[in-house]
Amino acid sequence: MTINEKLASEFGLKPVYVENIISLLDEGNTIPFIARYRKEMHGSCDDQVLRAFSDRLKYLRNLNEEKEKVQRVITEQGKWTEELRQALENAQTLTEVEDIYRPYKPKRKTRASVAIAKGLEPLADLLEKQDKNILILKEAEKFITEEVLTVEDAIAGAKDILAERISDDANLRKTLRELLYEKAMIECELLDGENKLTYETYAGFKQQAKLLPSHRVLAINRGEKEKCLKVSVVVNLELMLKEIRFAYKKDNPDTDEIIEEVIDDAYERLLFPALERELRSTLTDTACEQAIKMFEVNLKPLLMEAPLKNNIILGLDPAYRTGCKIAVIDTKGDVLATTVIYPTPPQSKTEESIAKLKELIEKYNVDIVSIGNGTASKEAEIFVAELIKHVSRPVSYAVVSEAGASVYSASKLGAEEFPDYDVSLRSAVSIARRLQDPLAELIKIDVKSIGVGQYQHDMPQNRLTEVLTGVVEDCVNSVGVDLNTASPSLLSYVSGLNMSIAKNITAYRAKIKGFKNREQLLSVPKLGPKAYEQCAGFLRITDGDNILDNTAVHPEAYEATKKLLNLFGVSLEDVKKGDLSLESLVKLKGEEKVANEIGVGVPTLKDIVSEIQKPGRDIRESMPKPELRSDVITMEDLKEGMVLSGTVRNVIDFGAFVDIGVHQDGLVHISQISDDYIKHPSEVLKVGQKVQVKILSVDLTKKRIALTMKGIEKE
């Protein structure tokens, strides 16, 4: 089966779509561009399907390259056979290819290679045959030389050679690998490591390997790394040896004992250690992919949270000794004022701090206070709730995650953006902007520092970065970017652009005092026709020469769009006014007929109609908005049975953490999420989602809150 045929089968796509997607990828088109502007060529696959397709294509191509390499090496050795050709052709994974290659792979010095160098391979051949007509000890006498002094030495060398052959048997390894995965138990013993108490639940732990949930695999791995756990793979020895005997032991009393010794040695010294490593590695790889998937699932709704546009926001970065850093930003995110107040211990200058912020709020008409959820956040929230009572204008507040704010503040990017500001003041600006436009601000932070997953530091970092960068790209391009206000950081995630071109765009923008149309992008240094094709549709110009530049309609479809408007007697001025009813008119006339008349496919027609009906729209406006408050509750106020509104902050394998406004997220265990059976919390919950929860228990000492979503009367 060819790569194209495999992909068509695995993704359920028509062969022509598979061929088109591969061509588009090979031509250097980005996933967002292909997903949005080449729908007719792939049947309207979404970004996630296309990314999975791209990953699988890379794997299959790599697999084919490995097969070709193995065939070349074995052929050069003069050992290529029809049997090997079939085995290699049938291999579906890189592991299977590696197993086939193993006997022919150049090895470092081994006991078997030493024995072969002494000329004992023919004796190993005889031993493997176990011919009843041949007495192996008698035959061994013929191999005594200056290097092989005794019969016992000859037999020992032959045993080493045969043990390695057994270990290198691709079919046997596959059988034992599958058996180990099905039957093995993972057992843990608690050691006296520095963080021993963290892993107490794993004292005497045992569970079938294939049933281990991903988060438990990663916890065990970390415990082992910290020398708090001794981890063992345990399997029925006889079960494994039985498979080797079936493959290699024949009925010959003369060699039975020797073959048993060979089998035991092959298993204990060569096979089991390798298969044990493979099993642990497979479990870890699977767990990491699941954890990375959770990062992906959590990151998207976080980035796509509704922005609080057209608000003046005061950002407050809480602290104790060094004081709370303050930054006021305008509706475009530009800084209006900064200061430091000391309402928290040890200074506790509450009245002075209220007076200072009251003046800022009334001077700049602040609408919302954005409070970081880090150290001293609880005290800061109590202070802000009191402050609001002293302000004449309506003001509310929200607590936002400050995960990664310190990373951004101390970064090169933070220094470039605010060279004259102290690191902590940069954090206050970031906290304010996170409420105003989460996507634009969070993309400045290393995605691994955003704090929406688990065990992020244990993940393969390149893979984690690749996946999370893909999520950011999909979000940025699905929302679109204001060409005249976007930072280089935001622009760098636009399809076809990178940081270098993004900086060139902002420099050129300053030079021409703002873009008036998309075509001007072609004058930006290093932004050629290909990059323009990829990026143009995702960049918006709000007050430009052409209203279509403020939509996701691609410039290549402008002519088709004008034909569409002419068809129904609509002008670009009408588009600018908004609220057109084109959709019903197109359906009445017939989508296929209209699409043919204007020269595009039906998917592109639908996209054009959707865009020109509401130019400049932000798809995030339909997302849940942040919880705005004017008063505060504490953990001490919580009682069992109390029902509260909350916001999902993190979804993990065993449940979800929900912010209920007390500075300590509560856990809804997977068993408490739904009355219906669910395999994973992400089937029901996503980051940013508003939920009703009931308090099950509160542990003030351990600062743990157990929540349930069951048994709550729906309004």
- The SS3 assignment for 543 reads coil
Q: For the residues 327-334, what does the mean pLDDT come to?
A: 94
In this predicted structure, the answer to whether residue 319 has a pLDDT above a threshold of 70 is yes
d(CA 399, CA 665): 12
Q: Which pLDDT does position 428 carry in this prediction?
A: 94
| 54-74 pLDDT per residue, tens | 999 999 999 999 999 999 999
Find all residues with CB under 8 Å of 396, minimum gap 6, and list them.
367, 368, 369, 388, 628, 629, 630
Partners of 190 in the beta sheet? 229
d(CA 204, CA 397): 48
d(CA 297, CA 363): 41
Q: Which pLDDT does position 54 carry in this prediction?
A: 97
Q: Which pLDDT does position 447 carry in this prediction?
A: 74
The per-residue b/e assignment along 61-72, b for 16 or more CB within 10 angstroms, e otherwise, is eebeebbeebbe
Closest CA to 697 of 644, 641, 657: 641
- The SS3 assignment for 274 reads helix
In this predicted structure, the answer to whether residue 334 has a pLDDT above a threshold of 60 is yes
Phi (first) and psi of residue 313, to 5 degrees: -120, 140
Cα dist. 288→177, 282, 443 in Å? Answer: 20, 10, 23
| 171-183 pLDDT per residue, tens | 999 999 999 999 9
**CATH homologous superfamily, domain 3-104:** RuvA domain 2-like (1.10.10.650)
Q: Which pLDDT does position 493 carry in this prediction?
A: 95
The per-residue b/e assignment along 145-163, b for 16 or more CB within 10 angstroms, e otherwise, is eeebeebebbbbbbbbbbb
Q: Which pLDDT does position 407 carry in this prediction?
A: 84
In this predicted structure, the answer to whether residue 244 has a pLDDT above a threshold of 90 is yes
Q: Which pLDDT does position 713 carry in this prediction?
A: 65
10 Å CB burial of residue 512 (0-12, 13-18, 19+) is exposed
Q: How many Å is the Cα radius of gyration of the chain?
A: 33
Q: Which of the 8 DSSP states describes residue 629?
A: B
Q: Which pLDDT does position 302 carry in this prediction?
A: 86
d(CA 693, CA 709): 5
The amino acid at 283 = L
Closest CA to 453 of 292, 666, 659: 292
Q: Which pLDDT does position 609 carry in this prediction?
A: 94
- Quick one: tokens of 20? 């088109």
The per-residue b/e assignment along 25-39, b for 16 or more CB within 10 angstroms, e otherwise, is beeebbbbbbbbbbb
Residues 23, 24, 25, 29, CA torsion sign: positive
- Quick one: tokens of 222? 């970390």
Q: With respect to CATH, is domain 313-459 assigned 1.20.1300.10?
A: no
The verdict on whether omega for the bond into residue 346 sits within 30 degrees of 0, i.e. cis, is yes
Can you tell me which residue has the tokens 């138990």?
185
Q: What is the 3-state secondary structure (H, E, C) of 215-268?
A: HHHHHHHHHHHCCCEEEEEECCHHHHHHHHHHHHCCCCCCCHHHHHHHHHHHHH
Find all residues with CB under 8 Å of 140, minimum gap 6, and list them.
123, 151, 154, 155, 158
CA angle 636, 642, 645 (to 5 degrees): 95
Closest CA to 626 of 447, 353, 450, 373: 373
Partners of 49 in the beta sheet? none
**CATH homologous superfamily, domain 635-708:** Nucleic acid-binding proteins (2.40.50.140)
d(CA 687, CA 305): 9
| 407-420 pLDDT per residue, tens | 888 888 889 889 98
Find all residues with CB under 8 Å of 567, minimum gap 6, and list them.
589, 594, 597, 598
**Residue % of the chain over a pLDDT of 70:** 99
- Per the prediction, the chain carries an average pLDDT of 93
| 116-172 pLDDT per residue, tens | 999 999 999 999 999 999 999 999 999 999 999 999 999 999 999 999 999 999 999
Locate all alpha helices (DSSP H) within 77-192, ordered by sequence.
82-90, 94-101, 111-117, 121-129, 136-140, 151-168, 170-183
Q: For the residues 216-229, what does the mean pLDDT come to?
A: 94
In this predicted structure, the answer to whether residue 579 has a pLDDT above a threshold of 70 is no
Cα dist. 100→70, 80, 185 in Å? Answer: 8, 12, 28
In this predicted structure, the answer to whether residue 432 has a pLDDT above a threshold of 70 is yes
d(CA 495, CA 34): 10
In this predicted structure, the answer to whether residue 78 has a pLDDT above a threshold of 80 is yes
Q: For the residues 589-613, what does the mean pLDDT come to?
A: 95
Q: Which pLDDT does position 714 carry in this prediction?
A: 54
| 3-48 pLDDT per residue, tens | 999 999 999 999 999 999 999 999 999 999 999 999 999 999 999 9
- The SS3 assignment for 162 reads helix
| CATH architecture of structural domain 111-292 | Orthogonal Bundle (1.10)
d(CA 598, CA 536): 21
In this predicted structure, the answer to whether residue 715 has a pLDDT above a threshold of 50 is no
Q: For the residues 280-291, what does the mean pLDDT come to?
A: 93
Q: Are strands 704-708 and 666-669 parallel, antiparallel or unpaired?
A: parallel
- Quick one: tokens of 133? 């007509």
Q: Which pLDDT does position 250 carry in this prediction?
A: 93
Q: Which pLDDT does position 373 carry in this prediction?
A: 86
| 435-468 pLDDT per residue, tens | 999 999 988 887 777 767 677 778 888 888 888 8
Domain range list for the chain: 3-104, 111-292, 313-459, 635-708
